[in-house]
Amino acid sequence: MSTSEYEPPADDEVLRLVQAAISARNHAYAPHSHFYVGAAVLLHGGRIVEGCNVENASYSLTQCAERVAVTTSVAEGHRNFRAIAVASVGGAMPCGACRQVLAEFGMDMAVYTVDVIDGEQKMRLLSELLPDAFSGTDLLP
């Protein structure tokens, strides 16, 4: 599907997705930064899989909420994502590493962010957030 054919999830799906991300944030383990993040991915078919950030004293071993939601989905056999929502104070966008992980599963994915303090939401397509994503085909001769 090209970006020009993209159809966003229905309003009720976005509401469920955002609420799931906010709920997932309650499970975050962030004793070092105290920056609690929840994420939820919307699968084709309407199922939602949640994730939260899991910190480690060695910061490079920390797992972002977005990657936890994606890897949980993959571990359950799901690889076809329609959208992801990320809930945090300030409505932070996914980091570069998370953007690249999401790109593995489709550039037409909607990325919703929500500020848990004031409820402000934003939406961008992943292709806007990572216009020159690395792909496995870049490795071919």
Give the residue numbers marked as catalytic.
66
The response to whether 98 counts as a known ligand-binding position is yes
The response to whether 120 counts as a known ligand-binding position is no
Per-residue pLDDT tens listing for the chain (141 residues): 444 467 789 999 999 999 999 999 999 999 999 999 999 999 999 999 999 999 999 989 999 999 999 999 999 999 999 999 999 999 999 999 999 999 999 999 999 999 999 999 999 999 999 998 887 665 556
> What's the pTM?
0.91
Q: Parse the chain into domains and list their residue ranges.
A: 8-133
In CATH, which superfamily holds the domain spanning 8-133?
Cytidine Deaminase, domain 2 (3.40.140.10)
The response to whether 52 counts as a known ligand-binding position is no
What would the 3-class secondary structure string for 72-140 be? HHHHCCCCCEEEEEEEECCCCCCCHHHHHHHHCCCCCCEEEEEECCCCCEEEEEHHHHCCCCCCHHHHC
Q: Please list the alpha-helical segments (H only) found in 2-86.
A: 11-25, 65-75
